[in-house]
Amino acid sequence: MAGEMKSRRQANDGDAAQAPNTTTSNGTRNAGDDIPHENIFLLWPNIIGYSRIILAIASLYYMPLHPRTCSLLYSVSCLLDALDGYAARHFEQSTRFGAVLDMVTDRCTTSCLLVFLSSAFPRWAILFQGLIALDFSSHYMHMYATLAMGGTEQSHKNVDKSRSRILSLYYTNKTVLFTTCALNEAFFIALYLLSFSSPLLSPSLLQSADPSTAQAVMHHGAQVNSSLLRHLFANPHSAAALELARANKMDSFWPWVFAGISFPVMALKQVINVVQLVKASKWLAEGDVKMRRAQGLPRKRKTA
């Protein structure tokens, strides 16, 4: 009996030595726990995500009057989207917070650019507004359906081919994902540059300023009132300043080239958004049917 009890104690000691470190209910660690504490907010992929946000905000600041600076900052912010994914895989730091941060940043930056395009091309404002609504709704529905139906451990990028071949290719093939997203953004950036450079899209660029007003104001002895001062020294964020910035014309050749190349991919991206919205809606509906059946719904009506 004594030998048997000794063997059991030795076995228990061996199991304890091999057992993973645990954390008690009050948050303190066991004495043998050597796993370092991680601050999820300071992981490398998330730091890159914060940098993307800073660059995006800077691009919005320069967006009304400085198209070259804005385009550079915005493009770098978009390209860092690929770098944070690489960092997450390289450092084994993939997190749900990082995935949500990445998606929210993408949606917000694109929406802000589309808002500017709505003001630059008022005739097409409803189209840009529709693209914003489609982008937000499809990604929200897809994320929610993945969490509700696939579980909290499943990534929104793990799409089975049986559910949608095009979504599976889009999310699982990194080359397809990067190319589609990059050219989608390139098309909107090209439109943004064309609002400063193309008289075809912005006829106001053909209008020349009337020099008579300025000559009258600057004439020696002329009376200068406050309204004329406001006309000459307008608020740098006013509509008049925007027109002056557009008068500093840019060459529209390359923006037209980028717009022509990226347009088919942008259109494909919108098709993917529609498919994503429809598939996520059907997936949620399937779950609703199962849940209602489990609850005995719909109830059979009693016949008279």
- Kindly report the CATH number assigned to the domain that includes residue 282: 1.20.120.1760
Contacts of 182 (CB under 8 A, 6+ apart): 78, 79
What pLDDT is stored for residue 35 in this prediction?
76
| pLDDT the model gives residue 109 | 97
> One of 81, 84, 106, 135 is an active-site residue; which one?
106
pLDDT of the residue at 213: 46
Q: Does residue 228 fall inside a structural domain? A: no
Residues spanned by the domain of 63? 40-200+249-294
Is residue 193 within 8 Å of residue 255, measured between CB atoms? Answer: yes
pLDDT attached to residue 222: 40
Summarize pLDDT for 187-220 with one digit per residue, the tens.
999 999 999 888 888 776 665 545 554 444 344 4
pLDDT at 203: 75
State pLDDT tens for residues 77-102. Answer: 999 998 998 999 999 999 999 999 99
Residue 218 domain-assigned (yes or no): no
Whether 226 is covered by a domain: the verdict is: no
Number of structural domains in the chain: 1
Q: Is the whole-model pTM more than 0.85?
A: no
Inside any domain, residue 243: no
What is the per-residue pLDDT for 214? Answer: 42
Whether 156 is covered by a domain: the verdict is yes
Q: 148: closest CA among 298, 4, 291? A: 291
240 within domain boundaries: no
Is 210 labeled as catalytic in the residue annotation? Answer: no
Judge whether 276 lies within some domain.
yes
Query: Does residue 18 form part of some domain?
Result: no
Q: Which two tokens stand for residue 9?
A: 């104690």
Number of neighbours of residue 230 by Cβ within 10 angstroms: 12
Residues of the chain with pLDDT under 50: 1-2, 4-6, 8-9, 11, 14-20, 22-27, 31-32, 209, 213-234
